[in-house]
A and B are shown apart, each in its own frame.
Chain A
């Protein structure tokens, strides 16, 4: 059930600024990582993925960085827009992507006008 007092970490940025959302993953054997965006009342939306043989991958306005040494993943959003306001989850996978995902706790991104 729901945990009393639980709240998501929140990142507030000004419109037009760059956003950096961080994620620490738990399993050193994880070899595939995905970032998802979830708006209120909707399912998660795929943003970008990266495999463990890469350190960086770029998409449209987004960049994912992977540091395997410290088991850290980050999502950078350039020129943040109001439509970017959502909860962002990182997910890790073992076995190249065909298996189940383990989700992080999520970060609430709020874009201020």
Chain B
């Protein structure tokens, strides 16, 4: 149980294009999902909190127009990196909190983004 998937697992794109990453909770409903980015040998940095049916809450310093988040259902949240640039290259990871349980967030496998 508590499986979270992400798609795609890796993507290479040209500078200026937009990339959409999907996060799905496969066997539970998640009212809240979280998006993180992680640079090599560093910890996870929270980018935003995604709540089903409402606007995402962004952390300080994260551009909401750059990183568009949509949480359309209890099992799906998407992150769109708009007009991607090389500095956006990173490992993007989502997590989901099981609405039926308290506490633990379960993480997806991550998406490696490389912007050329």
Residues in A lying within 8 Å of B, measured CB to CB? 1-3, 6-8, 32, 34, 36, 41-46, 49, 51, 89, 93, 96-98, 100-106
B78 contacts partner chain A, Cβ-Cβ < 8 Å: no
Q: A42-B110, A97-B102 are in contact. Are A8 and B41 (CB under 8 A)?
A: yes
Contact B46 A101, beta carbon cutoff 8 Å = yes
Contacts of B87 in A (CB 8 A): 1
Q: Give me the interface of B with A, judged by CB distance under 8 Å.
A: 2, 4, 6, 32, 34, 39-44, 46, 49, 87, 93, 95, 97, 102-110, 112
Q: Are A41 and B112 in contact (CB under 8 A)?
A: yes
Q: For residue B4, which residues in chain A have a CB less than 8 angstroms away from its CB?
A: 43
Chain B, residue nearest A33 (CB): B103
Do B44 and A34 touch across chains, with their CB atoms under 8 A apart? no
Known: A34-B104, A97-B102. A46 touches B2 (CB 8 A): yes
- Chain B residues whose C-beta falls within 8 Å of the C-beta of A104 in the assembled complex: 43
Q: A34-B105, A46-B2, A46-B106 are in contact. List 9 more A-B contacts (CB 8 A).
A: A2-B40, A8-B41, A42-B110, A45-B107, A46-B107, A97-B97, A100-B49, A101-B46, A102-B46
Q: Which residues of B contact A106 (CB under 8 A)?
A: 42-43
Residues of A within 8 Å of B107, CB to CB, are 36, 43-46
A97/B104 contact (C-beta < 8 A), A41-B112, A43-B93 known: yes
Question: Would you call B103 and A1 a contact (CB within 8 A)?
Answer: no
Residues A3 and B103 in contact, CB atoms below 8 Å apart = no
5 A-B residue pairs with Cβ-Cβ distance under 8 Å, sorted by A, are A36-B107, A41-B110, A43-B107, A43-B109, A51-B103
User: Of A2, A44, A101, which contacts B42 at CB under 8 A?
Assistant: A2
Residues of B within 8 A of A7 (CB): 41
Residues of B within 8 A of A96 (CB): 102-103
Across-interface contacts of A105 in B (CB, < 8 A):
42-43
How many Å lie between the Cα of A105 and that of B45 in the bound state? 10
Q: Which residue on chain B has the smallest CB distance to residue A89?
A: B43
Give complex CA distance A89, B36 in Å: 14
